[in-house]
């Protein structure tokens, strides 16, 4: 069996298994969201375990010590390079996204605060918290955007 056919059969089996798991869990009274999340976690764990087995065999044949299982499962090698500098375009893109999201969250918090009928709310402390949470998220995102734009060409020591 050639590689594309084997991959297609493997993915088709996963699709059938995931569909069956979601159908069974939803039919037994669980939420659809919980059923989908469980199927996704099963997919990640099973595929990660298969990949870890290949990783262990490859490293042992090369005489290297393999990573621990959980570290490999949640942080596989080659996906993150934390010490490399991100390009300037990535900083600008993240800054723009943070700016737009921050403005949106602050707008939502202000709209909640002004639109609330405070005299009819039985627990005003909860209502204030519900206004402050999106506001604080928005302010945090705006601060992040400001840091990304203000310190773009400077040393990374400013961020620590």
Residues sharing a CB contact under 8 Å with residue 123, sequence separation 6 or more, in sequence order: none
Do residues 104 and 150 share a domain? yes
Domains identified in the chain, total number: 2
69 with 97, same domain: the answer is no
Judged by DSSP in three states, 152 sits in coil
Q: Final residue of a domain: which of 74, 96, 131?
A: 74
Residue 115 within any structural domain of the chain: yes
Q: Buried (b) or exposed (e) across 1-37, using 16+ Cβ within 10 A?
A: eeeeeeeeeeeeeeeeebeebbeebeeeeeeeeebee
Q: Could you read off the pLDDT tens digit of each residue along the chain, which spans 160 residues?
A: 678 888 888 888 888 988 888 889 888 888 888 888 888 888 888 888 888 898 899 988 998 888 888 888 877 776 656 667 777 788 888 889 999 999 999 999 998 888 877 778 788 788 888 889 999 999 999 999 998 888 765 555 545 4
The span from the first CA to the last CA of the chain, in angstroms, equals 53
Residue after which a domain boundary falls, among 74, 97, 126: 74
> Whole-model pTM?
0.47
**82 occurs within a structural domain:** no
- Give 135-144 pLDDT, tens digit per residue: 999 999 999 9
Domain coverage including residue 116 = 88-159
The answer on 51 and 104 residing in a single domain is: no
**Domain shared by 15 and 56, yes or no:** yes
Q: Is residue 81 part of a domain?
A: no
Q: Is residue 145, in this structure, part of any structural domain at all?
A: yes
| Residue 79 domain-assigned (yes or no) | no
């Amino acid at each position: 069996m050639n590689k594309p056919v084997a991959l297609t059969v493997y993915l088709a089996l996963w699709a059938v298994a995931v569909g069956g798991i979601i159908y069974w869990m939803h039919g037994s009274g669980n939420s659809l969201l919980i059923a989908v999340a469980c199927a996704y976690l099963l997919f990640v764990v099973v595929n990660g375990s298969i990949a870890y087995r290949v990783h262990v065999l490859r490293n042992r044949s090369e005489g290297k010590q393999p990573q621990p299982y959980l570290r490999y499962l949640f942080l596989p090698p080659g996906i993150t390079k934390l010490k490399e500098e991100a390009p300037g375009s990535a900083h600008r893109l993240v800054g723009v996204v943070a700016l737009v999201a921050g403005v949106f969250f602050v707008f939502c918090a202000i709209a909640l605060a002004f639109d609330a009928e405070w005299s009819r709310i039985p627990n005003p402390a909860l209502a204030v918290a519900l206004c402050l949470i999106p506001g604080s998220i928005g302010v945090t995102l705006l601060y992040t955007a400001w840091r990304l734009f203000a310190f773009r060409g400077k040393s990374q020591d400013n961020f620590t």
